[in-house]
Amino acid sequence: MATLSFKCLHETNEDSPSDSPYFLVYVGDRSNKRSDVRRVKKSIWDDAVDAGEPARTATGIKFSPLVKNFDVVLVALIEEDWDADINLEKKVRETMNNFDHSLESLSISDLRLKLINAIEASLVNDDLVNVQKFSNNAWHFLSGDEAIYHAKFAF
């Protein structure tokens, strides 16, 4: 099981005074040509995340048991405008699974672009902030739409 932690350093430029972030985490197993996507969201984050607050954590994130080795991890930060796009996770997972057969040969940049395109094609009312490659248990910046977040993914 995995854990995602994040801290907001600057909110997005949305009308709401507080952010409602959630994350899509893509994990790829190049040697077994398998991938999975999971949405990480807690209802207590809705219109409740502000700059300068302590880090928040989501634990117990489970991925498909077919993905045994996370040698590719991409994390997308998304700002919810109203009610999360409930089919987003499924649509993005299905799109990204279509690339599993060529996972070994695709670069991280190519996978990142494919993930961005899959998310943007499936978003209804939410906003993609950014997608970054993550390494295990290291802090990374996600920024865009005036937002700056510091996040880490441990697996």
What is the set of domains in the chain, with CATH numbers?
A: 2-154 (2.60.40)
Residue written as token pair 């993914």: 153
CA 51 to each of CA 46, 47, 69, 150: distance values in angstroms, whole numbers, following the listed order: 14, 12, 34, 11
Are 125 and 82 in contact, with CB atoms under 8 Å apart?
yes
Are 53 and 67 in contact, with CB atoms under 8 Å apart?
no
Arithmetic mean of pLDDT, 129-153: 97
- DSSP symbols for 64-105: -TT-----EEEEEEEE-SSS--TTHHHHHHHHHHTTGGGTTT
Arithmetic mean of pLDDT, 51-59: 98
Tens-place pLDDT, residues 4-23? 999 999 999 888 889 999 99
Q: Name the nearest CA neighbour of 96 among 76, 125, 81, 68.
A: 76
Using DSSP, state whether 38 is helix, strand or coil.
strand
Q: What is the pLDDT of residue 84?
A: 66
Q: Which residue stretches of the chain are H helix? A: 88-97, 108-122
Percent of the chain with pLDDT over 90: 91
Q: Is 82's pLDDT higher than 80? A: no
Q: Structure tokens of 91?
A: 């649509």
